[in-house]
């Protein structure tokens, strides 16, 4: 059985992982930006993992895990099985 929860940003259904209860959906995870609205893309460093992020406009490195989606503060993490998890930061 696959558990789901609602995306904290757009309410879409998200597969639920106990470790990442505030995970946003894939659509929202693709809209990450910095505090100024500049788009950021998070990805794995290599097949064995590692987190890296770049600005979409010029490819410059973004060396923080904090990001924003629709103005909401989020945090990017590496998923245990590879891939990226974006979670909203609850106040």
> Would you tell me which residues interact with Zn ion (CB under 5 A)?
7, 9-10, 12, 25, 28
Q: Which residues of 39-56 are buried (b: 16+ CB within 10 A; e: fewer)?
A: ebebeeeeeeeeebbeee
Shortest CB 15 distance to Zn ion, Å: 12
Q: Which residue has the tokens 């406009």?
A: 57
Comparing CB distances to Zn ion, the nearer of 29 and 53 is 29
Of 12 and 35, which CB lies nearer to Zn ion in the complex structure? 12
Q: How far apart are CA 14 and CA 76, in angstroms?
A: 16
Our CB check for Zn ion shows the closer of 12 and 89 to be: 12
Q: How far is the CB of 9 from Zn ion (least distance, A)?
A: 4
CA dist 34 and 28 (Å) reads 14
Shortest separation between residue 58's beta carbon and Zn ion, angstroms: 26
Rounded Cα–Cα distance for residues 36 and 22 (Å):
23
């Amino acid at each position: 059985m696959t558990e789901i929860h609602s995306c904290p940003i757009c309410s879409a259904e998200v597969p639920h992982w106990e470790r990442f209860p505030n995970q946003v959906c894939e659509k929202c995870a693709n809209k990450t930006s910095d505090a100024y609205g500049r788009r950021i893309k998070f990805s794995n460093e290599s097949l064995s993992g590692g987190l890296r992020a770049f600005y979409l406009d010029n490819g410059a490195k973004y060396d923080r895990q904090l990001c924003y989606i629709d103005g909401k503060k989020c945090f990017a993490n590496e998923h245990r099985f590879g891939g990226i998890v974006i979670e909203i930061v609850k106040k």
